[in-house]
Amino acid sequence: MWRKNRLPRSNTTCIGTDLNRNWKFEWGGEPGTGAASTDPCDDTFQGLGPGDTPENIVLSGLSDKLGASRKGIRSYIDLHSYGQKILTPPGWTCNTSQYPPTLPRMIEVAEGFANSVQGYDSRNETYQYGAGCDIEYYSAGNGRDHHYGVYGANHSWTLELDPVTSSQGGFVLPPENIWPVVQEQWAGVLWLLNDVWLN
């Protein structure tokens, strides 16, 4: 149940950085929003500098290579748990003038993904979707904002998987739900690939 990585920092006994607050794009976010923490003891500690964790350095390097390729990065999905939400950019601000011009298309694709998940089987699971700041909370330095802002990924999401609430298992998905969630998500991914990649 450890949220952060295990990287020690100097001048503190607290361990770890929240890797989903450490991406370079809009690292730190808007002051006073609680988008990320500068306190090494907090669960949302952003690191000492943008992209300064070993994990982020490696992943950013891979994204740099993919982003520079002929087709670039068209879609990015960062899988998380839990809450059953599809979060689009932005997370770092709630200022609507900073919202992506492609947001309507992102929402359209998110809706198709959510409908495919819901319609897959009798569980009838519903996913909420929208700009991260609107339906969840501020989260600066996250992967979806970075991949949209730096590489122009047309569909850049944080996907919060099942369940909806902590009383339903929270971060510990009941074993009997693991395979159904996998199948539902694959139905959503197939819809996404057909809509985004093949059209």
Q: CA torsion sign, 179 to 120 to 163 to 103?
A: positive
Are the C-beta atoms of residues 143 and 158 closer than 8 Å to each other? yes
| CA distance readout (Å), 44 to 36, 96, 182 | 5, 24, 28
Amino acid at 111: E
- Characterize 132-171 residue by residue with b for buried, 16 or more Cβ atoms within 10 angstroms of its Cβ, and e for exposed: bbeebebbbbbbbbbbbbbbebbbbbbbbbbbbeeeebee
DSSP 8-state code for residue 85: E
- Catalytic member of 26, 125, 160, 184: 160
Residue 177's Cβ-count burial label (10 Å; 0-12, 13-18, 19+) is middle
Catalytic residue list contains 160: yes
- Give the residue numbers annotated as catalytic, written as ranges: 160
